Chain A
Amino acid sequence: MAAARASGPVLRPLFSALLFLSCYVFHTVALTKDEHTEELLIVPFRSGQVYSHFEFTTLWDLDFAGSEGPRYKLQHFRLFPRALGQVMAEYRVQEMHLTLTQGMWQQDKWSYPLTSAAPGAELWVWFQREVDDVDQAWFGLTNALSGLFCASLNFIDSTSTVTPDLSFRPQGLAQGLFKTKPSHLRYATLPRENVCTENLTPWKKLLPCSTRTGLAALFHAGQLYNTQYSSLGVHLRPVCQNDSCTDASLELRQVLSTVADPPAVLNGKQDWSMKRYFSRSLSGPCPMAGTSRVYVDVTGNQTSSFTLKPEPTELKVTSYQDYSRKLAVYDLWTFPFHKEHGLNVDMKWKREVAYNQLTPPLLYVHRFVTGYGQEHGGIMSLLYNRHPYLEQQVIYMELVPWFTRMYLHTLKVETTEGNLIQPLMTRYKPGRDRQAPYLLEMVLTLPPDSTTRVSFSFERAFLKWTEYPPDANHGFYISSAVLTTILRQADNFTVPPHMGSGLESGLFHSSSTEFPLCLHTETLLISLPTPDFSMPYNVICLTCTVIAIAFGSLHNLTTRRFQYTDLTKAGSGGLRARLARLFGREKQTTSEEQGEESETSDENTQEKLLNTNSVSEEEIDNKDR
């Protein structure tokens, strides 16, 4: 009894302290519930290239309180990168998509990518509903992102920014609290932008584990940028927390896609391994990641044409519509790293790559420049619809800079057989010199099994010499056109587009029948006529000389009067008269006239003067008589 009474005063505060601590811990966990997933998908294409797609997804269950619209309450950053989160909150961003891409995704050989990206830098942002000055927020956001990713996004200004009406609809939540205004979208692209290690480094720093462990340990910049296609992406959007969508969470997807060309390196065989491709192997999962997986597409192994080592954790088969795929899954949480000394996925093919005819997908698009000379030109796009009996409705968006002035009356949409196609809807925003680019959006219905030609002419403008880039004769880039549509078949997709987060939901739980697709065409390079850059001083001098000729002559003629001068008197007349007097009047011409300006009259004119004057004198004499 005494012992119990003695321990009471000690235990009670201890218990309350423990209770308080546990409540605090639960409270903290409830506030910042976020989870991180890292996934890698490797798909060997039939053309020999290997497609690696890294996806790092962070889902953060934020409290989106706000009277009029969503408002980020950003506290207690744990897995979500603080640098990015604060930028998003400062500029009231609802949805953001930034891609930095090098190379061109070849649609007819590689089908559709997981995230389509335009070559160069592409940024499109939906701002929250209650933002008043969207242009101010856009300006601030581009400069902040430019600093964050070491990319020249600060060159985005009004000459490269547009607000499309039909394309680039929100990919995240856009109803209720997240309802957006159509004028709060901004799209800009910088096709000349280069992507390299200095963009990868800050992008890597946004990941929770950085490059110490997990899938990000594979990033070796030298290997990643030695590829045919390399794309960095940051995608932010609000998503539903559960199926009933009572709460929303913020999803950040960091994506890195590369397409490498092993046959070019390894004596004709498609062999690849992580050590060879990334020059390192995996040593463990990221401790912050709830899920850490590597998927390898082994659908093409029906005839056991390759061997995959080590043994995958499991082999899953997925099927949607009539198409089934087999995937080898390596779960890094259950993989025995201590036994295998690192995970080095290795695929060895038995035979060399046999390049045969690859079937292009059902819908793809190419674009090119037409015309000759540096005054006019044309742009033509070919939209291929290879479906045998279904027609396809697409939204085609073309963004042309101000110095290639598009002529809308030359726009022609027709099939290669010559049938004119009438667009269902056309939205055209004309550009202004040095202020805004030309934007053309059309809703087209592509007939089945046809090739549609969209073409228009443009005129090239002449720029001031300071507006040319350092290598002026390289030319100027025109950004890609964007094709947006909804397909009913999923067999051309590497992973069918899905509403959920992470690759798993797309690979295994996809049950939708409509697959939104976004395709980018090639960027175009046109050369504008250049002035001579070494000439500013010369041009100023010569033009001012011509103006001075006029000024001088007219000044002389208006301020002086005609007068006779007697040449026999000494000291009168110019040099010629004095010389004539000196050498004793040999040239006894009747009258000699001097021009009012000795600078402009030259020797020939002097001779002519003498001749014409003598003629005129005679005429006057004749008239008098």
Chain B
Amino acid sequence: MEWLYSTRGFVMLAPDLTPNMGLFWYFFTEMFEHFCIFFLCVFQLNAVFYVIPLAIKLRDHPMFHLHLLVGLTAVFKSYPTFGDAALFLSLLPVWGHCFKYMRNLFLVVCMWLYSIVLAPVLWHLWIYYGSANANFFYAVTLAYATAQIFLLTDLLYAFLRREFHLRHGPAPKEGQGMPILMNLK
């Protein structure tokens, strides 16, 4: 059963620390041996456990749930690639009607451009020229992950806000002064 360790076990245990656009490699490079297993469990759990809360919230919208999970996997899996993000982005126009409720679109686009342009540059500087540091490339990785997370959460916010407006009508203009749309438990 050694093949099991080399295939499924490789994805679960993440033994190889080659830099990629994910969050695992630098974290486990700098991790103390004592806490390795603990943080590995936390990270892998984090990658999968969003299924249940989102399933409860989006029980009437399975396609959107699937789309969000594709996006979350693209950020939190152990060895992500641009292909994972491409799958998520290519399905984004399906929910184009939600774009007008999105609030962080400019920020997301800026961060994404920044990370995509700088990632190969800083990688080259670190590995080939020896002038930059591993930290530069790591920062770009963090910006990339944050951009994706902002996009995901913004999309969910926009979707839910649109659902709210569909049920309860648009925000009243006049009336009792300044009505605000807020999240409250």
The smallest C-beta distance from B16 to any residue of chain A, in angstroms, reads 7
Q: Is the CB of A557 within 8 A of B185?
A: no
Given contacts A568-B176, A577-B180, A593-B180, contact A562 B161 (CB under 8 A): yes
Q: Is the CB of B19 within 8 A of A591?
A: no
Q: Is the CB of B103 within 8 A of A608?
A: yes
Given contacts A531-B26, A532-B133, A591-B173, contact A373 B127 (CB under 8 A): yes
Measured in the bound complex, the distance between the Cα atoms of B75 and A466 in whole Å is: 27
The smallest C-beta distance from A501 to any residue of chain B, in angstroms, reads 47
Q: Is the CB of A566 within 8 A of B170?
A: no
Measured in the bound complex, the distance between the Cα atoms of B43 and A589 in whole Å is: 44
Measured in the bound complex, the distance between the Cα atoms of B150 and A605 in whole Å is: 12
The smallest C-beta distance from B170 to any residue of chain A, in angstroms, reads 4
Say which residue of A592, A605, A620, A621 sits within 8 Å of B178 (CB atoms).
Answer: A592
Measured in the bound complex, the distance between the Cα atoms of B145 and A588 in whole Å is: 38
Among A372, A553, A564, A621, max chain B CB count under 10 A is at A564
Given contacts A433-B16, A530-B134, A531-B29, contact A546 B23 (CB under 8 A): yes
Q: Which of B77-85, B86-94, B113-121, B151-159 contacts A (4 or more CB under 8 A)?
A: B151-159
Given contacts A462-B18, A594-B180, contact A621 B32 (CB under 8 A): no
In the assembled complex, which residues on chain B have CB atoms less than 8 Å from the CB atom of A624?
170
Which residue of B has the minimal Cβ distance to A572? B180
Say which residue of B19, B101, B180 sits within 8 Å of A564 (CB atoms).
Answer: B180
Q: Is the CB of B127 within 8 A of A591?
A: no
The smallest C-beta distance from A615 to any residue of chain B, in angstroms, reads 7
When each residue 591-613 of chain A gets 1 if its CB lies under 8 Å from chain B and 0 otherwise, what string results? 11111100001001100110011
What is the size category of the interface that chain A forms with chain B?
Answer: 35 or more
Measured in the bound complex, the distance between the Cα atoms of B28 and A465 in whole Å is: 9
Q: Is the CB of B181 within 8 A of A465?
A: no
The smallest C-beta distance from A385 to any residue of chain B, in angstroms, reads 37
When each residue 37-59 of chain B gets 1 if its CB lies under 8 Å from chain A and 0 otherwise, what string results? 00000010010001001101100
In the assembled complex, which residues on chain A have CB atoms less than 8 Å from the CB atom of B178?
566-568, 577, 580, 588-592
Given contacts A536-B31, A562-B164, contact A549 B146 (CB under 8 A): yes
Q: Is the CB of A567 within 8 A of B179?
A: yes
The smallest C-beta distance from A459 to any residue of chain B, in angstroms, reads 9
In the assembled complex, which residues on chain B have CB atoms less than 8 Å from the CB atom of A559?
53, 185
Interface residues of A in 577-593 (CB under 8 A from B): 577, 580, 588-593
Q: Is the CB of A540 within 8 A of B27?
A: yes
In the assembled complex, which residues on chain B have CB atoms less than 8 Å from the CB atom of A564?
171-172, 179-182
Q: Is the CB of B56 within 8 A of A558?
A: yes
Which residue of B has the minimal Cβ distance to A560? B183
Q: Is the CB of A566 within 8 A of B30?
A: no
In the assembled complex, which residues on chain A have CB atoms less than 8 Å from the CB atom of B170?
617, 620-621, 624
In the assembled complex, which residues on chain A have CB atoms less than 8 Å from the CB atom of B28?
464
When each residue 236-250 of chain A gets 1 if its CB lies under 8 Å from chain B and 0 otherwise, what string results? 000000000000000
Q: Is the CB of B30 within 8 A of A554?
A: no
When each residue 88-127 of chain B gets 1 if its CB lies under 8 Å from chain A and 0 otherwise, what string results? 0000000000001111101100000000000000000011
In the assembled complex, which residues on chain B have CB atoms less than 8 Å from the CB atom of A556?
183
Measured in the bound complex, the distance between the Cα atoms of B27 and A592 in whole Å is: 40
The smallest C-beta distance from B119 to any residue of chain A, in angstroms, reads 15
Q: Is the CB of A543 within 8 A of B180?
A: no
Q: Is the CB of B135 within 8 A of A560?
A: no
Q: Is the CB of B160 within 8 A of A531?
A: no
The smallest C-beta distance from A562 to any residue of chain B, in angstroms, reads 4
Q: Is the CB of B135 within 8 A of A532?
A: yes
B149: CB under 8 A from chain A?
Answer: yes
Measured in the bound complex, the distance between the Cα atoms of B179 and A98 in whole Å is: 86
In the assembled complex, which residues on chain B have CB atoms less than 8 Å from the CB atom of A593?
180-182
Q: Is the CB of B142 within 8 A of A568?
A: no
In the assembled complex, which residues on chain B have CB atoms less than 8 Å from the CB atom of A554?
50, 53-54, 152-153, 156
B62: CB under 8 A from chain A?
Answer: no
Given contacts A577-B180, A620-B165, contact A560 B103 (CB under 8 A): no
A11: CB under 8 A from chain B?
Answer: no
What is the size category of the interface that chain B forms with chain A?
Answer: 35 or more
Measured in the bound complex, the distance between the Cα atoms of B30 and A536 in whole Å is: 5
In the assembled complex, which residues on chain A have CB atoms less than 8 Å from the CB atom of B160?
557, 562
The smallest C-beta distance from A241 to any residue of chain B, in angstroms, reads 49
In the assembled complex, which residues on chain A have CB atoms less than 8 Å from the CB atom of B72?
550
Say which residue of B46, B138, B145, B150 sits within 8 Å of A551 (CB atoms).
Answer: B46
Q: Is the CB of B176 within 8 A of A566?
A: yes
Q: Is the CB of A594 within 8 A of B17?
A: no
Q: Is the CB of B183 within 8 A of A547?
A: no
In the assembled complex, which residues on chain A have CB atoms less than 8 Å from the CB atom of B102?
612
B4: CB under 8 A from chain A?
Answer: no
Measured in the bound complex, the distance between the Cα atoms of B181 and A561 in whole Å is: 10
B9: CB under 8 A from chain A?
Answer: no
A315: CB under 8 A from chain B?
Answer: no
B25: CB under 8 A from chain A?
Answer: yes
Q: Is the CB of A565 within 8 A of B17?
A: no
In the assembled complex, which residues on chain A have CB atoms less than 8 Å from the CB atom of B161?
562
A30: CB under 8 A from chain B?
Answer: no
A463: CB under 8 A from chain B?
Answer: yes
A563: CB under 8 A from chain B?
Answer: yes
Q: Is the CB of A591 within 8 A of B100?
A: no
Which residue of A has the minimal Cβ distance to B178? A567
Given contacts A461-B18, A463-B17, A621-B170, contact A531 B30 (CB under 8 A): yes
In the assembled complex, which residues on chain B have CB atoms less than 8 Å from the CB atom of A530?
134
In the assembled complex, which residues on chain B have CB atoms less than 8 Å from the CB atom of A609?
103
Given contacts A564-B171, A617-B170, contact A546 B184 (CB under 8 A): no
Interface residues of A in 233-275 (CB under 8 A from B): none
A6: CB under 8 A from chain B?
Answer: no
Measured in the bound complex, the distance between the Cα atoms of B150 and A557 in whole Å is: 13
Say which residue of B16, B142, B165, B180 sits within 8 Å of A567 (CB atoms).
Answer: B180
Interface residues of A in 262-299 (CB under 8 A from B): none
Which residue of B has the minimal Cβ distance to A539? B30
B128: CB under 8 A from chain A?
Answer: yes
When each residue 109-136 of chain A gets 1 if its CB lies under 8 Å from chain B and 0 otherwise, what string results? 0000000000000000000000000000
Q: Is the CB of B26 within 8 A of A557?
A: no
Given contacts A465-B29, A558-B56, A608-B106, contact A373 B180 (CB under 8 A): no
- Identify the B interface with A (CB < 8 A): 15-19, 23, 25-33, 43, 46, 50, 53-54, 56-57, 72, 75-76, 100-104, 106-107, 126-128, 130, 133-135, 138, 142, 145-146, 149-150, 152-153, 156-157, 160-161, 164-165, 170-173, 176-185
Which 9 A-B pairs rank lowest in CB-CB distance, beginning with the nearest? A568-B177, A553-B153, A620-B170, A567-B178, A560-B183, A373-B128, A562-B164, A536-B30, A596-B183
Ordered by A's residue number, 28 sampled pairs between the chains whose C-beta atoms are within 8 Å are: A373-B128, A374-B130, A462-B29, A464-B17, A536-B31, A546-B149, A553-B153, A557-B57, A557-B153, A557-B157, A557-B160, A558-B57, A562-B160, A562-B181, A562-B182, A563-B183, A565-B182, A567-B177, A573-B180, A593-B181, A596-B157, A604-B107, A608-B103, A616-B101, A617-B171, A619-B100, A621-B170, A621-B173
Contacts A531-B30, A577-B180, A591-B179 supplied; 19 other A-B pairs, CB < 8 Å: A433-B16, A540-B30, A540-B31, A546-B149, A549-B146, A550-B76, A550-B153, A554-B53, A554-B156, A556-B183, A560-B184, A565-B180, A580-B178, A591-B180, A593-B181, A594-B182, A596-B183, A617-B171, A620-B165
